[in-house]
Each structure stands twice: as structure tokens, then as C-alpha cells.
């Protein structure tokens, strides 16, 4: 594992963004010295997250095509180490970058199929808000496409695709709303449990204090009665010793 880690780090810092570098990530899970696959992937993920910051900064001076190639490499690398969040984040950035640049470079246009594919992956990963935005982008891409060349059959298919995307978007919205409600419910229940625990604790304290006061009161009452009894006993004893003639 250490050899693979060192080799990958070396190639990464040498800016070798190619398939041979990615192959290191494809092969390391089968390494015999990997005691825990989860720990190994976590180590590579942390390395990638740290190194990707400087790598992306360096692309500022590169051409648009070069930037996209670097991002594609990082996307694949994050996918191989199981860092789905970073993978989807970079994919989303790349897609939006292409949309921005496609006004002057039409070959960078993002098709609705690409947005749908990204939306599906985001939805399955639980990133509902990102999936919703991706479905909206898919609709926008589809509606902006040239429909002049559609046949009547093609136009019908076009409408079917729009309806399908809208259904998927509504599904994502429902999941997002349900997730939000569950989160709020969870927070509410946690607060109620905390409040109940505090009330029980306070009630127990009050009961303990009241019980202590009650026992002390009984003890004082008994002591007072005993004192009175002894006082009366002392007087009677004196009278008996000195009878009145």
C-alpha cells in the first residue's frame, strides 16, 4: 500500500495526468498488504483532496480543453477511491464550465443526456438539490436545441423526453422535501428528548429536596416531643421527691 501511495503521489506531483497514473488506483485494492480497503481509500482520498487544490489553481493559465482534461482526470481518480462527493462536485463544475464556454465554443455544449446522467448519479448519491439543478439544466438544454429538423415522430419523442425529465425532477423534489422533513423531525425529537431529560432531572431534584425537608421536619418534630416529654418527666420526679404537706 505504501509503495502504491508513494508512486501515485510522485506521479501526481509530476503532473502525470494519464491512464497509467489512474491504473495505480485501479490495482491497489487487490494489494495483499492492504489490511483495510476503507482505510486505504480514505488515505488516497485525503491525498487527492489536498493535491487537487493546487492542481486546479495551476489550470488558470491553461487552455479550456486542457482544463477539462485535468478535471476529467481528477473526476476519475476520485471515483476510483470512492470519494463520490468530490467526484460529483468536480463533474458539476466541469459541466457548468462547458456551458459557460459553449457560447463561443459550440463543441463544448452539454447535451441533455449528459445532464440526465449526472442528475441520476447525484440522485442516487443523495445530493437531491444538485440533482434538481441538473434536471433543470437538462430541460434547458433540450428546449434550446434546434427543433426545426424534428419530424412529427421526432417531435413526439422530444415531448416525451421533456415529460420524463419533469417527472424525474418532481421525484427529486419530493425526495428533497422528504429529506428536509426527516431532518427537521429528527432535530425536533432530539430537542424533545433533551427537554424531557432536563424535566425529569429537575423533577427528581425537587422530589429529593422535598423528601429531605419532610424527613428533617419529622426528625425535628420527634426531637421536640422527646424534649417536652423529658421536661415533663423531670418536673414530676421533683414533685415526687418533695411532696406538699
Contacts of 169 (CB under 8 A, 6+ apart): 132, 135, 136, 139
Describe the crossing of helices 37-58 and 84-101 by its angle, rounded to 10 degrees: 20
* C-alpha cell at position 38: 476503507
* pLDDT value of position 132: 94
* pLDDT value of position 59: 92
**Ramachandran region, residue 243 (left: φ > 0; alpha: ψ -120 to 50; beta: rest):** beta
Percent of the chain with pLDDT strictly greater than 70: 63
Tell whether pTM > 0.85: no
Percent of the chain with pLDDT strictly greater than 90: 46
* pLDDT value of position 39: 81
Residue 97's pLDDT band (cuts 50, 70, 90): very high
* pLDDT value of position 160: 86
pLDDT tens for 37-59 read 778 888 899 999 999 999 999 99
pLDDT of 165 > 70? The answer is yes
Question: Average model confidence (pLDDT) for the chain?
Answer: 79
Across residues 75-93, what is the average pLDDT?
A: 95
Measured CA to CA in angstroms, residue 41 lies from 13, 15, 35, 78, 179 at distances of 19, 21, 11, 10, 28
pLDDT of 26 > 90? The answer is no
* pLDDT value of position 88: 95
Question: What fold does the segment set 110-198 form as a domain?
Answer: Methane Monooxygenase Hydroxylase; Chain G, domain 1 (1.20.58)
Residue 145's pLDDT band (cuts 50, 70, 90): confident
Amino acid at each position: 500500500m505504501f509503495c502504491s501511495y508513494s508512486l501515485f503521489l510522485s506521479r501526481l506531483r509530476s503532473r502525470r495526468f494519464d491512464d497509467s497514473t489512474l491504473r495505480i488506483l485501479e490495482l491497489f485494492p487487490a494489494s495483499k498488504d492492504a489490511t483495510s480497503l476503507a482505510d486505504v481509500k480514505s488515505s488516497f482520498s485525503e491525498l487527492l483532496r489536498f493535491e487537487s487544490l493546487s492542481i486546479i489553481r495551476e489550470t488558470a493559465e491553461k487552455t479550456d480543453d486542457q482544463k477539462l482534461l485535468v478535471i476529467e482526470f481528477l473526476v476519475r481518480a476520485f471515483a476510483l477511491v470512492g470519494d463520490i462527493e468530490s467526484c460529483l462536485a468536480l463533474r458539476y463544475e466541469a459541466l457548468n464550465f462547458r456551458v459557460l464556454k459553449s457560447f463561443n465554443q459550440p463543441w463544448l455544449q452539454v447535451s441533455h443526456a449528459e445532464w440526465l446522467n449526472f442528475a441520476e448519479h447525484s440522485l442516487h448519491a443523495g445530493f437531491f438539490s444538485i440533482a434538481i439543478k441538473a434536471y433543470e439544466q437538462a430541460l434547458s438544454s433540450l428546449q434550446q436545441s434546434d427543433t426545426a429538423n424534428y419530424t412529427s415522430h421526432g417531435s413526439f419523442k422530444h415531448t416525451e423526453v421533456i415529460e420524463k425529465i419533469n417527472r424525474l425532477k418532481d421525484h427529486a423534489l419530493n425526495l428533497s422535501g422528504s429529506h428536509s422533513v426527516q431532518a427537521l423531525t429528527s432535530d425536533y425529537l432530539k430537542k424533545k428528548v433533551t427537554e424531557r431529560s432536563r424535566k425529569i432531572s429537575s423533577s427528581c431534584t425537587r422530589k429529593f429536596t422535598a423528601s429531605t425537608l419532610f424527613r428533617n421536619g419529622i426528625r425535628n418534630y420527634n426531637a421536640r416531643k422527646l424534649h417536652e416529654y423529658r421536661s415533663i418527666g423531670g418536673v414530676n420526679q421533683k414533685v415526687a421527691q418533695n411532696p406538699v404537706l
